[in-house]
Amino acid sequence: MAIGKDTINSVIGPGSIFEGKFYIAGSLRIDGKFEGDIKTEDALVIGETGKVKTNISAKEVIISGTLIGNIKAENEVKLEGTGRMLGDITAPYLELQKGVVAKGNITITGGQKKDVRKIVEESFGGIKSLDTKE
Protein backbone atom coordinates (compact mmCIF):
# COMPACT_ATOMS: atom_id res chain seq x y z
CA MET A 1 0.00 0.00 0.00
CA ALA A 2 1.71 3.15 -1.19
CA ILE A 3 -0.45 6.14 -0.41
CA GLY A 4 1.43 9.39 -0.74
CA LYS A 5 0.33 12.95 -0.05
CA ASP A 6 -0.26 13.43 -3.79
CA THR A 7 -2.96 10.76 -3.88
CA ILE A 8 -5.05 12.12 -0.98
CA ASN A 9 -7.81 14.34 -2.35
CA SER A 10 -9.78 15.19 0.84
CA VAL A 11 -8.47 16.03 4.32
CA ILE A 12 -10.03 16.66 7.72
CA GLY A 13 -7.12 18.57 9.25
CA PRO A 14 -5.72 18.71 12.78
CA GLY A 15 -8.00 20.65 15.12
CA SER A 16 -11.03 20.10 12.86
CA ILE A 17 -14.16 18.31 14.07
CA PHE A 18 -16.58 16.72 11.60
CA GLU A 19 -19.81 14.90 12.41
CA GLY A 20 -22.06 13.34 9.79
CA LYS A 21 -21.84 11.29 6.60
CA PHE A 22 -18.79 11.41 4.38
CA TYR A 23 -19.15 9.49 1.09
CA ILE A 24 -16.28 10.08 -1.30
CA ALA A 25 -15.12 8.66 -4.62
CA GLY A 26 -11.46 9.44 -3.88
CA SER A 27 -9.20 9.08 -0.87
CA LEU A 28 -9.57 10.70 2.55
CA ARG A 29 -7.09 11.56 5.30
CA ILE A 30 -8.28 12.38 8.81
CA ASP A 31 -5.96 14.22 11.19
CA GLY A 32 -8.79 15.78 13.22
CA LYS A 33 -11.84 14.28 14.87
CA PHE A 34 -14.61 12.52 12.92
CA GLU A 35 -17.79 10.81 14.04
CA GLY A 36 -20.41 9.44 11.65
CA ASP A 37 -20.36 7.32 8.48
CA ILE A 38 -17.47 6.96 6.02
CA LYS A 39 -17.53 5.19 2.67
CA THR A 40 -14.82 5.62 0.08
CA GLU A 41 -13.97 3.83 -3.14
CA ASP A 42 -10.29 4.49 -2.45
CA ALA A 43 -8.06 4.82 0.61
CA LEU A 44 -8.79 6.09 4.11
CA VAL A 45 -5.87 7.26 6.22
CA ILE A 46 -6.23 8.11 9.90
CA GLY A 47 -3.16 10.16 10.83
CA GLU A 48 -1.47 10.11 14.25
CA THR A 49 -3.66 12.97 15.52
CA GLY A 50 -6.82 11.50 13.99
CA LYS A 51 -9.63 10.33 16.28
CA VAL A 52 -12.41 8.52 14.43
CA LYS A 53 -15.62 6.84 15.57
CA THR A 54 -17.31 5.11 12.62
CA ASN A 55 -17.61 1.92 10.63
CA ILE A 56 -15.35 2.11 7.59
CA SER A 57 -15.89 0.71 4.11
CA ALA A 58 -12.87 1.43 1.90
CA LYS A 59 -10.46 -0.04 -0.61
CA GLU A 60 -7.47 0.43 1.72
CA VAL A 61 -7.18 1.64 5.32
CA ILE A 62 -4.14 2.93 7.19
CA ILE A 63 -4.47 3.72 10.90
CA SER A 64 -1.84 5.73 12.76
CA GLY A 65 -4.33 7.39 15.12
CA THR A 66 -7.39 6.11 16.99
CA LEU A 67 -10.41 4.28 15.56
CA ILE A 68 -13.52 3.03 17.33
CA GLY A 69 -15.51 1.05 14.77
CA ASN A 70 -15.34 -1.79 12.28
CA ILE A 71 -13.38 -1.94 9.03
CA LYS A 72 -14.32 -3.69 5.79
CA ALA A 73 -11.47 -3.25 3.33
CA GLU A 74 -11.43 -4.39 -0.27
CA ASN A 75 -7.62 -4.73 -0.46
CA GLU A 76 -5.79 -4.27 2.84
CA VAL A 77 -5.57 -2.74 6.31
CA LYS A 78 -2.39 -1.41 7.89
CA LEU A 79 -2.17 -0.61 11.60
CA GLU A 80 0.94 1.47 12.21
CA GLY A 81 2.83 1.47 15.53
CA THR A 82 0.93 4.48 16.90
CA GLY A 83 -2.44 2.99 15.88
CA ARG A 84 -5.17 2.31 18.44
CA MET A 85 -8.31 0.42 17.46
CA LEU A 86 -11.45 -1.00 19.02
CA GLY A 87 -13.51 -2.97 16.47
CA ASP A 88 -13.54 -5.77 13.93
CA ILE A 89 -11.48 -6.02 10.74
CA THR A 90 -12.42 -7.88 7.55
CA ALA A 91 -9.85 -7.68 4.76
CA PRO A 92 -7.82 -9.85 2.37
CA TYR A 93 -4.55 -8.63 3.91
CA LEU A 94 -3.59 -7.14 7.31
CA GLU A 95 -0.30 -5.57 8.38
CA LEU A 96 0.39 -4.89 12.07
CA GLN A 97 3.42 -2.94 13.22
CA LYS A 98 5.05 -3.22 16.62
CA GLY A 99 3.32 -0.98 19.16
CA VAL A 100 -0.24 -1.35 17.87
CA VAL A 101 -3.01 -1.57 20.49
CA ALA A 102 -6.21 -3.22 19.23
CA LYS A 103 -9.19 -5.27 20.39
CA GLY A 104 -11.72 -6.97 18.14
CA ASN A 105 -12.25 -9.84 15.74
CA ILE A 106 -10.16 -10.27 12.62
CA THR A 107 -11.21 -12.04 9.42
CA ILE A 108 -8.48 -12.35 6.81
CA THR A 109 -9.92 -13.60 3.54
CA GLY A 110 -6.72 -13.93 1.53
CA GLY A 111 -8.71 -12.52 -1.37
CA GLN A 112 -11.03 -15.53 -1.42
CA LYS A 113 -14.74 -15.04 -2.07
CA LYS A 114 -15.65 -18.30 -0.31
CA ASP A 115 -16.56 -18.39 3.40
CA VAL A 116 -13.34 -18.35 5.44
CA ARG A 117 -14.59 -20.99 7.90
CA LYS A 118 -15.31 -23.40 5.01
CA ILE A 119 -11.89 -22.79 3.45
CA VAL A 120 -10.10 -23.65 6.71
CA GLU A 121 -12.34 -26.64 7.49
CA GLU A 122 -11.86 -28.06 3.98
CA SER A 123 -8.13 -27.55 4.30
CA PHE A 124 -8.19 -29.49 7.57
CA GLY A 125 -9.88 -32.43 5.93
CA GLY A 126 -13.58 -31.85 5.45
CA ILE A 127 -14.71 -31.79 9.07
CA LYS A 128 -18.31 -30.68 9.63
CA SER A 129 -17.76 -27.81 12.04
CA LEU A 130 -15.46 -26.98 14.90
CA ASP A 131 -18.39 -25.58 16.91
CA THR A 132 -20.66 -28.66 16.89
CA LYS A 133 -20.34 -31.53 19.34
CA GLU A 134 -21.35 -35.00 18.27
Other C-beta atoms within 10 Å of 15: how many?
A: 9
pLDDT tens-place values along the chain, 134 residues long: 455 445 778 888 999 999 999 888 889 999 999 999 888 889 999 999 999 999 999 999 999 999 999 999 999 999 999 999 999 999 999 999 999 999 999 999 888 878 888 888 888 885 555 555 54
Three-state SS at 65: coil
Distance in angstroms (rounded) separating the CA atoms of residues 16 and 33: 6
The residue ranges of every structural domain in the chain are 8-124
For residue 98, what are the contacts with CB-CB under 8 A and spacing of at least 6? 81
For residue 9, what are the contacts with CB-CB under 8 A and spacing of at least 6? 24, 26, 27, 28
Distance in angstroms (rounded) separating the CA atoms of residues 123 and 9: 42
Half-sphere exposure of 26 (CA within 13 A, CB side): 10
pTM for the structure as a whole: 0.83
- Backbone phi and psi for residue 124, each to the nearest 5 degrees, phi listed first: -75, -25
